[in-house]
């Protein structure tokens, strides 16, 4: 534990697997997510709803804060919670 991961979901993909929602789903449902203590997800709000992404990360045991990068992009900064409430 103690690792950092940054995911950029600000561009549309060339294939369906590269679409922001699909990439996000693959990362948050993967078993490797538990290796990271902090994750930053860069999101374009017209491609993925940041509030929904934050809620999903919360269910996976992360506490998230939205930081505005510019008018169309936000950074969802998530830190692993020691004792997540289930």
CATH number at residue 63: 3.30.110
Structure-block tokens of residue 63: 């506490």
* Residues in the chain, pLDDT under 70: 1-2, 83-86
Please report whether residue 85 resides in a domain.
Answer: no
Domain presence at residue 66: yes
The pLDDT value recorded for residue 85 is 56
Q: What's the predicted TM-score (pTM) here?
A: 0.81
Residue 30 corresponds to which tokens in the numbers above?
């993967």
Q: What is the 3-state secondary structure (H, E, C) of the chain?
A: CCEEEEEEECCCCCCHHHCHHHHHHHHHHCHHHHHEEEEEEEEECCCCCHHHHHHHHHHCCEEEEEEECCCCEEEEEEEECCCCCC
Q: Determine the structural domain holding residue 14 and report its residue range.
A: 3-80
Q: If you search the block for the tokens 């020691």, which residue do you land on?
A: 82
pLDDT at 65: 96
State how many domains the chain has. Answer: 1
């Amino acid at each position: 534990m103690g690792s950092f991961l940054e995911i950029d979901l600000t561009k549309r993909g060339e294939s369906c697997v590269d679409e922001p929602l699909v990439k996000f789903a693959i990362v948050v449902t993967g078993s490797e997510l538990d290796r990271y203590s902090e994750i930053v997800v860069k999101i374009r709000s017209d491609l993925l709803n940041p509030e929904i992404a934050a809620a999903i990360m919360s269910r996976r045991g992360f506490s998230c804060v939205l930081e505005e990068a510019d008018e169309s992009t936000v950074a969802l900064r998530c830190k692993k919670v020691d004792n997540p409430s289930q």
